[in-house]
Structure 1
Amino acid sequence: MAVACLFGAAVAAHAAMQAGQRDDGPVADVAAARDSVVIHVLIVGDPRELGTDSRGSGRWAVPAEVIDIAADGMLIRSRTRILLTGGEGWGQVVTGQEVRTAGKLKPAKPGQVEAGVLAAATPPMRPDSQRKPDTQNKPDTQNKPDTQNKPEARHPTQGPADIPHGPAQLKRQFSSAAEWLQGDAAGLLPGMVTGDTTGLDESLETAMKTTGTTHLTAVSGANCSLILGGLVLLARSFRLARGVAAIVALGGLAAFVMMVGPDASVLRAAVMGAIGLTALSSGRQGRSLGFLCLAVTGLLTLDPSLGTSVGFLLSVLATLGIVLLARPIASWAPSWVPSWLASAVAVPLAAQLLCSPVIVALQPQFSSYSLLTNIAVAPFVAPVTILGTIAVPLVPLLPWLAIVPIAVAGASAGMVAAIARFFAGLPGASLPWPEGPAGIATMSLWSVGTVLLVWLVLHPTRVVSAVLWLHGRLVLLIAAGESSLRRR
């Protein structure tokens, strides 16, 4: 308890420090003045489409971290998060890219983790290379006038920003290599392997939302668990010691994270996937729960803004469900049921039971066939993840060799899409659910009732014995009551 309180205090202190920097720092002061600025930022997340403007051009929101701001004759440096919104060129920026742009900086809305929102008036531009020599020895944050770095002199005129090589380039090459696939597979395969959903068909995306399988179109804990489990089995097949196999598997998982892009969501998925696999393979619930608590504490210490992320909450709840409920539910299955089949049902059921109250709070509807869909697509998820991951580095190195894994992974992705469309088209696939606290409470009760119902169905002998025992006690109670009434 003392250690838990200490960790909680550390996370709270770090969150308070970041909140103070966001609300009272120099970037917040510039945003409050609503000045036009020239800004140099580091892209820290993928662009999110906002829609189209009056001219029909796409609008994008891009999370970024400030490197420096030129405003009102001053140069300000502060590692603070902001949100960029813009049109032309902003849909192509990638995580890890440094860009420069100009626009008006405004305060963020209450509840946002960013210190401000910049409406970019220009496309993303390359940073000014002439700036670096005279700024290396300056402090991190300064509000003194800078006559040599006025906004006019620092306007980004060097041309569009270069897209760096690395994860973004691999994603684009893999998406291009999968274009020859037919139907839904061409758009779904890149999403399931690298998280690139730009080619995903809107009707298929709707079907996956209806059936509760949208987590498959992003790099999630399930992907990381499959990669980690496959590497462990491969290492053990070479008769490596358990510790060596674990090190090899973790190294491979780290390589996978770097390949798809080490942003916050991928790192979170890797941590949660490793914990979930540990819980299923070790059978030690207490140790897995301790690992989960340490992982959540570490992630929140590194990035307190995860505390406001719904994706982080769902990831933690899904992992918690697997740690606490998956093995007990699987153990309830009769002896004639194969263990792999029991686990295939128990894992998605355990994750869904804990995530459902949060999901209905976001979207007040009940996905009737979510569990059945996740069970049905499970055999095809592993080939997509493992073979697709193998194909990603082969595309730029040996494109002719990547055709085979892409074909097999694409066929499996096509089956996932077909199953999602089938269950989404069934009657009652999406049922209305109460909104707000009432919806959360009723879904929580539904989850508890589901666990009890599963136990009752899988333990018929105990249920019959309990019913007969209660019947016998009730008969004795009634007989005793009749006897006492006759005596009177």
Structure 2
Amino acid sequence: MVPAALLVWSAAAAAHHLNPLALAVLCLVLVAGSGLLLLRASSSAGARALDGRPRRSFPATLAVALLLAAAAGGNAADESSRRHQSAVAAAATAHTAVTVEVEVTGAPRRLKTPGRSGLADRWAVPVTLIDMSFDSHQVQARARLLVLGGAGWEDAAPGQRIRTTGKLKPSEPGQPEAAVLSASSAPLTLGPPGLWQQGPGELRGRFTAAAGHFDGDARGLLPGMVTGDTSALDAELDTAMKSVGMTHLTAVSGANCSLILGALLLAARNLRCSRASAAVLSLLGLGLFVLMVGPDASVLRASVMGAIGLVALAGGRPGRGLSFLCLAVIGLLLAQPELSISFGFLLSVLATLGIVMTGRPIMSWFPAAVPRWVAAAVAVPLSAQAFCGPVIVLLQPQFSSYALPANMAAAVLVAPVTLLGTAAVPLVPLSPVLAAAPLGVAAAFANGVGGVARFFAGLPGAVLPWPEGAFGAVTMALFSAVCLAAWWLAFHPARTAGLALAAHGRTVTLLGRMPRFPDGLRALWRGRRTGLVHRPGRGRLRVCNQSSGRKPQWLLPRPHAPGPRHRRPPPGAM
């Protein structure tokens, strides 16, 4: 599955950088290669094993991988052409003023810096274009837009149909949106969201309002960790979380989804449900959680990666988790080819890959007396940080010195915040009195998470500079490998001492097998030495220059050394 995932990813990414002709040639080459491999596999299909079953054919697997890559490349080319060669792209290139009718597809996000108009509060809202009018023309097209607006856009809810005016401009390279709309008017609501979107939106709004009654960091951190609403997050706390590598805790991530899924699995198993029924009930519960948070691309990606990470830690076969990860990558890239150039998707895959490949081995390093949850609290952030570090350096060339201890300290607090906060979400509109207890406990633990971030961010050397570019990524990868090796050596002192003694013995043996210098070469080598030379009979060391022997050796002049005393004639002597 690994070659298939890599080929699909490469083809989807190439579609965003190649012109249509080159991409068509690439897809044809992939299809032709797949056909040749299938012919080779069919010719050798008659080979049978001793038990009568057909042998596994790697050419057939590679042929399927090439077909999937061609499909991903074609899908990505279609998406790219609709983004860059449509009427929307032409209007964005000309910076045309338009009147649009859109459907909101995600929650508003507060911008950190004001726009050109000087407005302090500006919001970024992902939408889908339905209708567009400009210069007496009307265009009906489905395209993804990003609206940048001021007052009124913070209340936009997913599923709403809105009409507004503004000016289109091209999106940044690598962005999935076809264009960016700078809104010049407040949104005019044309229709409410659907029932399956309106209910979760009201739950998120009421939970955010209930969390606003708490003081401290829980006011903005609790809604972000439970429902993904980061609108009330303090800017200083956000900076502290970034400094210590805890940004994934400010919103719903794969860790939250894995906690929800794990809790549902344990509850179902305690109720004596079978494995199949427990899996179905847990997946349904995870689906409801995703629906409450908002089924956008980042949340769906987090839920899939969190489920795979949980399977990798709970199961006993790392290869199965890797196969599930490859299947998830192929499915997500075929459904959304723009994920191939998303750093967020890459970090999610690398973090899950680290947990799948090294999570359980790191947990096995701990002694049997250490609880399993403590080992998991160390293994998960260590493995994820080791695999994500080189990519993080490409985005932000700095090194978070306390990222591992900060995440380890916060890992104990994340579970109560996620579980108790999620349990309080349906209780807030139904019974605020019953919701007060779990909400208060979750708020206390959320304040603890914020305190951990602020404490480690305030330590000296919390953020250190790191080289940029490919050199920085390679050095970070080497540093991560050295850190994993150091952890292994620390947990295996006996084997470490044995390895050190073995290395010492091999070094001595190697030095003993090296050829020795003949006596003549040894004498010549000694004769060419320079430095302090002991001259017998002198009683002191002298620094002299070694010569070939044809000239006498002269002492180097010492200007500040005391010389021999000159005898002075007695008074009156001539």
TM-score, normalisation: structure 1? 0.88
What's the counterpart of residue 331 of structure 2? 298
Greater shift, 11-20 or 183-192, is seen at 183-192
Q: Do the aligned partners of residues 204 and 117 (structure 1) sit closer, same or farther apart at CA in structure 2, a change above 3 Å counting?
A: closer
Greater shift, 357-366 or 51-60, is seen at 51-60
Q: Do the aligned partners of residues 34 and 128 (structure 1) sit closer, same or farther apart at CA in structure 2, a change above 3 Å counting?
A: farther
Greater shift, 197-206 or 235-244, is seen at 197-206
Q: Do the aligned partners of residues 128 and 399 (structure 1) sit closer, same or farther apart at CA in structure 2, a change above 3 Å counting?
A: closer
Q: CA deviation at 1:3?
A: 2.8
Q: 3-state SS of the aligned residue for 1:294?
A: helix
Q: CA deviation at 1:63?
A: 2.0
Q: Is 1:170–1:392's contact at 8 Å kept on the other side of the alignment?
A: yes
Q: CA deviation at 1:339?
A: 2.6
Alignment partner of 1:18 is 2:18: no
Alignment partner of 1:52 is 2:114: yes
What's the counterpart of residue 9 of structure 1? 70
What's the counterpart of residue 212 of structure 2? 179
- Letter matched to residue 329 of structure 2: V
Q: CA deviation at 1:403?
A: 0.4
Q: Is 1:369–1:429's contact at 8 Å kept on the other side of the alignment?
A: yes
What's the counterpart of residue 164 of structure 2? 101
Cα deviation code 1:352-403 (max 9, x no counterpart) = 0011111111111111111111111111111100010010111111111110
Q: Do the aligned partners of residues 420 and 109 (structure 1) sit closer, same or farther apart at CA in structure 2, a change above 3 Å counting?
A: closer
Alignment partner of 1:122 is 2:155: no
Q: CA deviation at 1:461?
A: 1.6
- Letter matched to residue 83 of structure 2: R
What fraction of aligned residue pairs are identical, expressed as a percent?
A: 55
Q: CA deviation at 1:261?
A: 1.1
Q: CA deviation at 1:24?
A: 1.3
Q: Do the aligned partners of residues 181 and 469 (structure 1) sit closer, same or farther apart at CA in structure 2, a change above 3 Å counting?
A: same
What's the counterpart of residue 353 of structure 1? 386
Alignment partner of 1:68 is 2:131: yes
Q: Is 1:95–1:263's contact at 8 Å kept on the other side of the alignment?
A: no
Q: Is 1:31–1:116's contact at 8 Å kept on the other side of the alignment?
A: yes
Q: 3-state SS of the aligned residue for 2:188?
A: coil
- Letter matched to residue 113 of structure 1: P
Q: CA deviation at 1:57?
A: 4.1
Q: Distance in 1 between matches of 2:384 and 2:88?
A: 40
Q: Is 2:257–2:303's contact at 8 Å kept on the other side of the alignment?
A: yes
Match of 2:361 among 321, 328, 331: 328
What's the counterpart of residue 140 of structure 1? none
Match of 1:199 among 219, 232, 250: 232
What's the counterpart of residue 38 of structure 1? 99
Q: Is 2:358–2:383's contact at 8 Å kept on the other side of the alignment?
A: yes
Cα deviation code 1:136-167 (max 9, x no counterpart) = xxxxxxxxxxxxxxxxxxxxxxxxxxxx7333
Q: Distance in 1 between matches of 2:219 and 2:150?
A: 26
Q: 3-state SS of the aligned residue for 1:13?
A: helix
Q: Distance in 1 between matches of 2:315 and 2:245?
A: 28
Q: CA deviation at 1:294?
A: 1.0
Alignment partner of 1:217 is 2:278: no
Q: Distance in 2 between matches of 1:438 and 1:375?
A: 29
Q: Do the aligned partners of residues 33 and 180 (structure 1) sit closer, same or farther apart at CA in structure 2, a change above 3 Å counting?
A: closer
- Letter matched to residue 270 of structure 2: S
Cα deviation code 1:20-68 (max 9, x no counterpart) = 1111122223334443321111122233333335454422232221111
Structure 2 unaligned regions, length at least 5: 1-61, 522-574
Q: Distance in 2 between matches of 1:16 and 1:477?
A: 59
Greater shift, 9-18 or 267-276, is seen at 9-18
| Structure ranking higher on relative contact order (CA contacts 8 Å, 6+ apart) | 1
What's the counterpart of residue 203 of structure 2? 170
What's the counterpart of residue 52 of structure 2? none
Q: CA deviation at 1:482?
A: 7.8
- RMSD over aligned Cα atoms: 2.1
Q: CA deviation at 1:458?
A: 1.8
Q: 3-state SS of the aligned residue for 2:362?
A: helix
Q: Distance in 1 between matches of 2:63 and 2:487?
A: 37
Q: Is 2:162–2:187's contact at 8 Å kept on the other side of the alignment?
A: yes
Alignment partner of 1:314 is 2:377: no
Q: 3-state SS of the aligned residue for 2:110?
A: strand
What's the counterpart of residue 267 of structure 2? 234
Structure 1 unaligned regions, length at least 5: 130-163
Alignment partner of 1:446 is 2:479: yes
Greater shift, 79-88 or 242-251, is seen at 79-88
Q: Do the aligned partners of residues 374 and 128 (structure 1) sit closer, same or farther apart at CA in structure 2, a change above 3 Å counting?
A: closer
Q: Distance in 2 between matches of 1:248 and 1:224?
A: 15
Match of 2:281 among 245, 248, 252: 248
Greater shift, 373-382 or 29-38, is seen at 29-38
What's the counterpart of residue 9 of structure 2? none
Q: Do the aligned partners of residues 287 and 476 (structure 1) sit closer, same or farther apart at CA in structure 2, a change above 3 Å counting?
A: closer
Matches within 5 A, 1:379-398: 379-398=412-431
What's the counterpart of residue 459 of structure 1? 492
Match of 1:472 among 482, 502, 505: 505
Structure label with greater radius of gyration: 2
TM-score, normalisation: structure 2? 0.75
What's the counterpart of residue 319 of structure 2? 286
What's the counterpart of residue 153 of structure 2? 90
Match of 2:308 among 271, 275, 279: 275
Aligned residues: 454
Cα deviation code 1:142-199 (max 9, x no counterpart) = xxxxxxxxxxxxxxxxxxxxxx733332222111112232321222111111111222
What's the counterpart of residue 7 of structure 2? none
Q: Is 2:76–2:337's contact at 8 Å kept on the other side of the alignment?
A: yes
Q: Distance in 2 between matches of 1:411 and 1:296?
A: 37
- Letter matched to residue 271 of structure 1: V
Q: CA deviation at 1:404?
A: 0.7
Q: Distance in 2 between matches of 1:477 and 1:301?
A: 55
What's the counterpart of residue 399 of structure 1? 432
- Letter matched to residue 434 of structure 2: L
Cα deviation code 1:232-288 (max 9, x no counterpart) = 000000111011100000000001011111111111111111100011111211111
Greater shift, 411-420 or 114-123, is seen at 114-123
Q: Distance in 2 between matches of 1:343 and 1:106?
A: 47
Q: Distance in 1 between matches of 2:238 and 2:461?
A: 18
